[in-house]
Amino acid sequence: MTVLRIGNCSGFYGDRLAAMREMVSGGQLDVLTGDYLAELTMLILGKDQLKDPELGYARTFVRQVEDCLGLALESGVRIVSNAGGLNPAGLADRLREVARGLGLDPSIAHIEGDDVRALGLEGALTANAYLGGFGIAAALTAGADIVVTGRVTDASLVVGPAVAHFGWGPTSYDELAGAVVAGHVIECGTQATGGNFSGFLRLDRSRPLGFPLAEIAADGSSVITKHGGTGGAVDVDTVTAQLVYEISSPRYLGPDVTTHLDTVELAQQADDRVAISGVRGSAPPARLKVCVNELGGYRNQAEFVLTGLDIGAKAAWVREQLAPGLTCERVEWSEPAAPVADADTEEAASVRLRCLVQDARPDPVGRAFTAATVELALASYPGFTMTAPPGRPTAYGIYRAEYVDRGRVRHTVVHFDGTREVIADPTEFGADDPVVGRRPSPFPAPSDTRTRRLPLGAFVHARSGDKGGDANVGLWVAHDDSVGDGKHAARVTWLAKLITPQKVRELVPEAAELEIDVYNLPNLGAVNVVIHGLLGAGVAASTRFDPQAKGLGEWMRSRLVHVEEGLV
């Protein structure tokens, strides 16, 4: 076999249930992966385990395997997933039960050792080290049909099968880095085929978006594609969109290899086929990153509707009325904008005013808050109404990243026959610090070139997301067949000069006091922006309107910038 075909059927816990069957039955595959974990998911699974220690894994994965196991075994498709979450052993046992009920006997292995709560990390509800792909490789080499893991890196789900198939060693850095890039592209499912893509208007949207697959070669190069007859597209822009998603510097640190993202080269090979080549890797860092979640407290919110005239005065009055009754530690109000003047509908003439409260204890954000809010219904601003009555307080978590020495983590494979194998650590290490190429933030020099005031998104795509409390925005110049190579290159140069930390602060005023890094990715025609601390203590605790920064890139694309006439 010259290539290994690895597909994806899940980008998060809650993704399309039918995707596993679609991928197994839709075309040739050797391995099917599913990514179910995120920082927030680990918190959700941690709360599940507080209620029932037998839980802690993605239960939707069990349903998918029950539906597709016979077909996968018959087709020779091996399944690798991180759906084990906090309890990979429990998930493996549950899958064996399901298989017995179906009259099947697959070989099921699991990976453990990522759970490092025993290290005593302060306040941890969950604490999981990001493991690499060599444990998965060992399980597959020993004959496993299904491998379930806890918190490996998302890309490890692809790296592991590639290592097993091609026999790469721990120092096959370029090959490993190539597999990391392929894994990073397909790990979020349909985000590589047009999901959350700013160029969605040109996609085939008549059918559900197809899930991606990677054809990986022995040298680590790959082709990203999808099964025929599925919606969406695989082109240089959709692949770039996922490549710049939730990264930081061009040195992409992983447990198996440091991947140099500024070496990635993309080429449109054919319709729905994008080749990835040129990827270079180097030794991994000496320490492993750990995802830590702790319980932060309780929160609640109320959303008031303000209609018509005197919006500012109405908002001020309800804030004044509610303030004496609030005893919680934190109160945050949104700032409503003015509604449409002379609106044709009542909804267009209305804005929303949100009050969000947090406290270490549930009582101050419970009855004390809801009663104070509802009691204003007949005694406040004209037209008083809410989108819904405030509900019960909900617990929220706080995420933080820690780093631990590899020697404190036992990366262990529990093979399908019950034997245990500890995966050896690498013997060569690179730098731990991912921050390179941080750029200064001077104002650009004045230019006599004629410009137009246009949205940044006139020919720039964006993809944004969260990295703990930091927001990441990847911006790149769209690949337009009607634009020649010279103009495309000029646009890339313009974008690299335009996007400085200072310019980001202009485009995103709420980041004015925050630390901002901007990194160039010239091979991709892209820049990557990291806004530190924009999301506070992470998605579960963030009080932003967009707590995961999913819409941040689209907001930036809508902002007006000066574009040189010759680039339009």
In a domain, 197, yes or no: yes
Distance CA 398, CA 53 (A): 21
Cα dihedral 566→482→193→153 (10° resolution): -40
Q: Does the pLDDT at position 444 exceed 70?
A: no
Clarify whether residues 348 and 273 are in a common domain: no
Q: Does the pLDDT at position 442 exceed 90?
A: no
Check: CB of residue 487 under 8 Å from CB of residue 563. no
pLDDT band at 445 (very low <50, low <70, confident <90, very high): very low
Contacts of 341 (CB under 8 A, 6+ apart): none
Nearest to 66 by CA among 31, 23, 21: 21
Contacts of 437 (CB under 8 A, 6+ apart): 249, 250, 519, 520
Clarify whether residues 390 and 409 are in a common domain: no
Q: Does the pLDDT at position 472 exceed 80?
A: yes
Greater confidence, 432 or 56? 56
In a domain, 440, yes or no: no
Q: Please report the beta strands in 242-286, taking only residues with DSSP state E, as ranges in sequence order.
A: 251-253, 258-260, 265-270, 273-277, 280-282
Look at residue 480 in the predicted model and tell me its pLDDT: 86
Q: Look-up: residue for tokens 């530690």?
A: 329
Look at residue 448 in the predicted model and tell me its pLDDT: 58
Clarify whether residues 8 and 72 are in a common domain: yes
Look at residue 447 in the predicted model and tell me its pLDDT: 55
- Kindly report the average pLDDT of the chain as a whole number: 94
pLDDT band at 21 (very low <50, low <70, confident <90, very high): very high
Question: For residue 558, what are its two tokens?
Answer: 């809508």
Greater confidence, 522 or 447? 522
Look at residue 436 in the predicted model and tell me its pLDDT: 46
Distance CA 484, CA 556 (A): 26
Look at residue 387 in the predicted model and tell me its pLDDT: 94
Distance CA 70, CA 104 (A): 7
Look at residue 232 in the predicted model and tell me its pLDDT: 97
What is the rounded radius of gyration, in angstroms, for the C-alpha atoms of the chain?
Answer: 25
Q: Which domain holds residue 471?
A: 451-567
Segment 227-255, tens digit of pLDDT: 999 999 999 999 999 999 999 999 999 99
Check: CB of residue 403 under 8 Å from CB of residue 290. yes
Q: Please report the beta strands in 97-179, taking only residues with DSSP state E, as ranges in sequence order.
A: 108-112, 126-129, 146-148
In a domain, 427, yes or no: no
Segment 271-305, tens digit of pLDDT: 999 999 999 999 999 999 999 999 899 999 999 99
Q: Does the pLDDT at position 51 exceed 50?
A: yes
Clarify whether residues 510 and 363 are in a common domain: no
The b/e string for 467-493 (b: 16+ C-beta within 10 A; e otherwise) is bbbbbbbbbbbbbeeebeeebbebbbe
Q: Does the pLDDT at position 443 exceed 50?
A: no
Segment 255-272, tens digit of pLDDT: 999 999 999 999 999 999
Segment 380-397, tens digit of pLDDT: 999 999 999 899 999 898
Segment 79-138, tens digit of pLDDT: 999 999 999 999 999 999 999 999 999 999 999 999 999 998 888 999 999 999 999 999
Q: Does the pLDDT at position 440 exceed 70?
A: no
Helix (H) or strand (E) holding 476: strand 470-477
Segment 307-320, tens digit of pLDDT: 999 999 999 999 99
Distance CA 311, CA 337 (A): 8
Clarify whether residues 210 and 335 are in a common domain: no
Clarify whether residues 242 and 345 are in a common domain: no
In a domain, 192, yes or no: yes
Clarify whether residues 48 and 177 are in a common domain: yes
Contacts of 528 (CB under 8 A, 6+ apart): 244, 247, 248, 249, 250, 472, 473, 474, 475, 518, 519, 521
Look at residue 98 in the predicted model and tell me its pLDDT: 98
Clarify whether residues 330 and 465 are in a common domain: no
Contacts of 522 (CB under 8 A, 6+ apart): 262, 492, 496
Q: What is the pTM of this model?
A: 0.93
Look at residue 246 in the predicted model and tell me its pLDDT: 92
Provide the domain count of the chain: 3
Q: Does the pLDDT at position 446 exceed 50?
A: no
pLDDT band at 482 (very low <50, low <70, confident <90, very high): confident
* Kind of pairing between the strands at 108-112 and 412-414: antiparallel
pLDDT band at 435 (very low <50, low <70, confident <90, very high): low
Clarify whether residues 389 and 484 are in a common domain: no
Helix (H) or strand (E) holding 177: helix 173-186
In a domain, 310, yes or no: yes
In a domain, 438, yes or no: no
Residue 48, CA distances (Å) to 11, 40, 97, 117, 126 in order = 20, 13, 21, 16, 11
Clarify whether residues 321 and 245 are in a common domain: no
In a domain, 327, yes or no: yes
Clarify whether residues 147 and 261 are in a common domain: yes
Over residues 348-355, the mean pLDDT reads 96
Clarify whether residues 244 and 136 are in a common domain: yes
Burial class (CB in 10 A: 0-12, 13-18, 19+), 386: middle
* CATH number of the domain where residue 386 is located: 3.30.70
